[in-house]
Amino acid sequence: MANLNLEPDKGVMIEVVASACSLMKEGDRVYLRGPVIDYERSAPLCLSAVVGIYPWIMAARFGIASHSLGHDNGYRLSCPDRLVELHVSTCADDGTLPSPLDTPSGEELN
């Protein structure tokens, strides 16, 4: 029987790519390790934004390649209020490199 891991364990980075919101600024990043926010490295996070993008956060945590869901190089989404545009992607443990899961052929991103 194959060893199947059903627990999502990929690191996730959420980056603000555009913002008209006073709570989240362009360039802000939030890092997740499993279901936990890495507060030491993360900017403030709006819960309305998290609720709106949570399905894609879970897809990234499970390591589902973004191209298989119609996105390229991670998931680019808006918060429910359409004030903040966010990019959700898997990341390496140190949070600095995008995961190869976000590329169609599995190559590293630069």
pLDDT digits (tens, 9 = 90+) for 13-69: 999 999 999 999 999 999 998 889 999 999 999 999 999 999 999 999 988 888 888
Element (H, E) at 52: helix 47-61
Q: Output the CA–CA distances (angstroms, integers) from residue 58 to 11, 26, 76, in the order listed.
A: 11, 23, 14
Predicted TM-score of the model (pTM)? 0.79
pLDDT of residue 1 exceeding 80, the answer is no
Q: How far is CA 85 from the centre of its chain?
A: 12
Tell me which residue has tokens 């980056």: 15
The pLDDT score that the predictor gives to residue 72 is: 85
All residues at 6 or more sequence positions from 78 whose CB lies less than 8 Å from its CB, including other chains: 52, 84, 85, 86
